[in-house]
Amino acid sequence: MNQTPRYLSPAKLAFALTLLLGLGAFLRFSDLSQPLLDFHPTRQLFSAIKARGMYYQALPKAPAWQKELSYRQWQGEATIEPLIVENIAVFFYTQFGQENTAYPRAVSATFWLTAALFIFLLSKNLTASPPAAIFSTAFFLLIPYSIPASRAFQPDPLMVLLISFFWWSIEAWGRKNTWPWAVLAGLAGGLAIFVKLPAVFFIAGGAIGAILAYSNLATAVKSPKTWLTALLCVLPAAAYLYYGLYVAGFLGQQFGGRFFPTYWIDPYFYLRWLLKVDLVVGVFWLSLASLGWLILAAKPAKVFLSALWSGYMLYGLVFPHHIASHDYYSLPLIPIVALSLAPLAADILPHIWNTAAFRFARIAILLSFSFFLFAYTAIAYLDGRLQDTRLSAQTYAEIGETLQHQPGVVALTTDYGYPLAYYGWQNVSLWEYSEDFEQGFSKQTFEKAYFVVTDFDELARQPQLAEKLSAYQVFAQTREYIIYDLKAPQP
């Protein structure tokens, strides 16, 4: 097993970990007030609308129309996961006396930073190499995709935290086989699945990996600790499912349209999946992780990591549509790749670290490398790939004010109308293309007063619609939108 070099004292390791956490925190806490249009707006605004609806019902001085509209918007959205991050947001809204999505963003970022500690501890346990654990933690914190994803207003960062916490505790339970570790692992796993049901694949993978790495299935099945851990993992989600399906009934329609086994024989599905993986972690890092996991890891670590990878693959096959179309569905892949890089780092770093040429400059080079990663990530996302979305949010607010938040509006817009609903306080019916254009237009605009267009690219792909709308007077127009008055045909 790898040993910590004598010049890497606990104080130096603590400094390196603190530095990484500081860099990660700086990237995540910068400009938290930016509107929720930078990363999967539909998903983030889904949570924001629910949180606002709950908050405004308890806001005594809120205008009556805002209370009523926010409630209708909240209740109009489906409920799948428990509203944990939404209730956390409402708590901070109430404590600080204002609705500000920077609060739930900050909470999500804190979840990710805390998860980094468990990645460090688990990497160290798997390799007995603190420098390798530092390397894995650096990847987990500084890989560019993780910056916007880890501060998003959605339950996924909390899920990743709880999954990481479970992996660390279940691996320790596998090695030590004590009751406290069994209870801790069960609590962590149960909370992870409760937060988001698909976490069950990563919880099951970690549990099977710990059992096979340090024992066997026959022994585990006979152990009461195994059954306690399993019960604690299953109970919270089972209670929620029972309540949602048979008591309140809000989950009855939420599990359709997710399982498509026909995708399994479609080569294009696997290509799309790989492209999402490339976006999230990059094929380069995926290749290095495979080398560390399959070639260089010691047997217990290899078995444990193999189970984690198997859990991810099964997860993708069960949710083929989402894994190939929603990149954030592969967010748990980041900690898996980070852990899989640890055996590679544990094998390579001592050889590099002990060379004469490196020995005298190692501190300067390590610091330079860390700041290079930091600068690259900052440029890639905060200064480049994340545009300032404040003007877009202001545009949606302007549309709502222009329409005076009234009903009877059809819209050709992006992100399923969520930005209009949240920033514009404007409910709309989304325009849907119809083969029978005239019939579709008549049906969708019946008793509607206005037609809003913000997606000009889509309008250009529908020349019939553009021609039809030109027959109506323009109620308001800017470079960002056009509002047609459906009650006022052109003279």
Helix (H) or strand (E) holding 19, with range, is helix 10-29
Contacts 24+ apart (CB under 8 A), 276-279: 276/323, 276/324, 276/325, 276/326, 276/327, 276/329, 276/330, 277/330, 277/333, 279/145, 279/327
The region that residue 196 occupies, defined by phi over 0 for left and psi between -120 and 50 for alpha, beta otherwise, is: beta
Q: In terms of domains, do 294 and 415 share one?
A: no
Q: In terms of domains, do 346 and 405 share one?
A: no
Least Cα distance to 149 among 200, 101, 117, 109 occurs for 109
Q: In terms of domains, do 134 and 251 share one?
A: yes
406 lies in some domain: yes
- Cα angle at 281 between 336 and 337, to 5 degrees? 20
Q: In terms of domains, do 401 and 368 share one?
A: no
Contact 181, 169 (CB under 8 A): yes
Contact 444, 417 (CB under 8 A): no
CA 167 to chain centre: 19
Record the pTM.
0.93
What's the rounded Cα separation, in Å, for the pair 313 and 277?
12
Q: What is the pLDDT along the chain (491 residues), one digit of tens a residue?
A: 455 555 467 888 898 899 899 989 988 998 898 999 989 999 999 999 999 999 999 898 899 999 999 999 999 998 889 999 999 999 999 999 999 999 999 999 999 999 999 999 999 999 999 989 999 999 999 998 999 999 999 999 999 999 999 999 999 999 999 999 999 999 999 999 999 999 999 999 999 999 999 999 999 999 999 999 999 999 999 999 999 988 888 886 666 556 788 999 999 999 999 999 999 999 999 999 999 999 999 999 999 999 999 999 999 999 999 999 999 999 999 999 999 999 999 988 777 666 655 555 555 555 555 555 555 555 555 544 455 688 999 999 999 999 999 999 999 999 999 999 999 999 999 999 999 999 999 999 999 999 999 999 999 999 999 999 999 999 999 999 999 999 999 98
Helix (H) or strand (E) holding 167, with range, is helix 156-176
453 lies in some domain: yes
Q: Looking at 326, 353, 377, which one is the last position of a domain?
A: 377
Neighbour count for residue 234 (Cβ, 10 Å): 16
DSSP tally for the chain: helices H, then strands E: 24, 5
Residues 6 or more apart whose CB falls under 8 angstroms from that of 442 comprise none
pLDDT the model gives residue 381: 53
Amino acid at 335: P
- How many residues are recorded in the chain? 491
DSSP-based helix, strand, coil % in the chain, nearest 5: 70, 5, 25
Q: In terms of domains, do 475 and 339 share one?
A: no
Residues 6 or more apart whose CB falls under 8 angstroms from that of 287 comprise none
DSSP assignment of 102-125 equals HHHHHHHHHHHHHHHHHHHHHHHH
What's the rounded Cα separation, in Å, for the pair 169 and 175?
10
Q: Looking at 377, 412, 441, which one is the last position of a domain?
A: 377
213 lies in some domain: yes
Q: Looking at 342, 377, 412, which one is the last position of a domain?
A: 377
Sign of CA dihedral 424, 428, 432, 434: negative
88 lies in some domain: no
What's the rounded Cα separation, in Å, for the pair 293 and 303?
9
Q: In terms of domains, do 448 and 358 share one?
A: no
pLDDT the model gives residue 12: 80
Q: In terms of domains, do 159 and 281 share one?
A: yes
Q: In terms of domains, do 312 and 447 share one?
A: no
Q: In terms of domains, do 255 and 334 share one?
A: yes
440 lies in some domain: yes
3-class DSSP string for 28-44 = HHCCCCCCCCCCCHHHH
Amino acid at 34: Q
What's the rounded Cα separation, in Å, for the pair 47 and 319?
21
60 lies in some domain: no
Contact 422, 48 (CB under 8 A): yes
Q: In terms of domains, do 314 and 453 share one?
A: no
351 lies in some domain: yes
The tally of domains found in the chain comes to 2
Contact 228, 178 (CB under 8 A): no
3-class DSSP string for 248-309 = CCCCCCCCCCCCCHHHHHCHHHHHHHHHHHHHHCCHHHHHHHHHHHHHHCCHHHHHHHHHHH
User: Residue 121's domain spans which residues?
Assistant: 10-31+106-377
Q: In terms of domains, do 477 and 360 share one?
A: no
Q: In terms of domains, do 295 and 203 share one?
A: yes
